Amino acid sequence: MTALEKPVTRTAYQQSVADYWNAEKDPVNLRLGDVDGLYHHHYGLGDYDPAVLETPADRRDEAIIAEMHRLETAQADVLLDHLGPIKPEDRLLDAGCGRGGTSVMAHLRFGCQVDGISISEQQVGFANAHVRQRGIDGSVRYHLKNMLDTGFGSGTFQGIWNNESTMYVDLNELFAEHARQLKPGGRYVTITGCYNDVTGGRSRAVSQIDQHYICNIHARGDYFKAMAANGFVPINVVDLTAATIPYWELREKSSVATGVEKPFLTAYREGSFHYLLIAADRV
| Interface contacts to ligand SAM, rule CB under 6 A | 14, 17, 21, 40-42, 96-98, 101-102, 117-120, 123, 146-148, 163-165, 168-169
Q: What is the rounded CA–CA span in Å between residue 40 and residue 43? A: 8
Q: Which is nearer to ligand SAM, 158 or 163 (CB)?
A: 163
C-alpha 70: how far from chain center? 16
Minimum CB–partner distance for residue 103 and ligand SAM (Å) = 9
Q: Which is nearer to ligand SAM, 119 or 189 (CB)?
A: 119
Q: Which is nearer to ligand SAM, 30 or 199 (CB)?
A: 30
Q: Crossing angle for the helix pair 204-213 and 261-270, nearest 10 degrees?
A: 150
Please tell me whether residue 101 adopts helix, strand or coil conformation: helix
Q: Which is nearer to ligand SAM, 191 or 227 (CB)?
A: 191
Q: Could you tell me if 4 and 62 are in contact, meaning their C-beta atoms sit under 8 angstroms apart? A: no
Q: Which is nearer to ligand SAM, 27 or 53 (CB)?
A: 27
Shortest-Cβ-distance residue relative to ligand SAM: 98
Minimum CB–partner distance for residue 190 and ligand SAM (Å) = 10
Minimum CB–partner distance for residue 55 and ligand SAM (Å) = 26
Q: What is the rounded CA–CA span in Å between residue 135 and residue 140? A: 10
Sheet holding 157-163, edge to edge: 140-144, 113-118, 91-95, 157-163, 182-195, 273-282, 232-239
Minimum CB–partner distance for residue 97 and ligand SAM (Å) = 5
Minimum CB–partner distance for residue 166 and ligand SAM (Å) = 9
Q: What is the rounded CA–CA span in Å between residue 90 and residue 97? A: 18
Going from the C-alpha of 61 to that of each of 45, 57, 142, the distances in angstroms are 19, 8, 32
Q: Which is nearer to ligand SAM, 163 or 244 (CB)?
A: 163
Minimum CB–partner distance for residue 85 and ligand SAM (Å) = 22
Q: Could you tell me if 106 and 38 are in contact, meaning their C-beta atoms sit under 8 angstroms apart? A: no
For β-strands 91-95 and 157-163, DSSP reports them as parallel
DSSP state of 7: P
Minimum CB–partner distance for residue 266 and ligand SAM (Å) = 20
Q: Which is nearer to ligand SAM, 161 or 268 (CB)?
A: 161
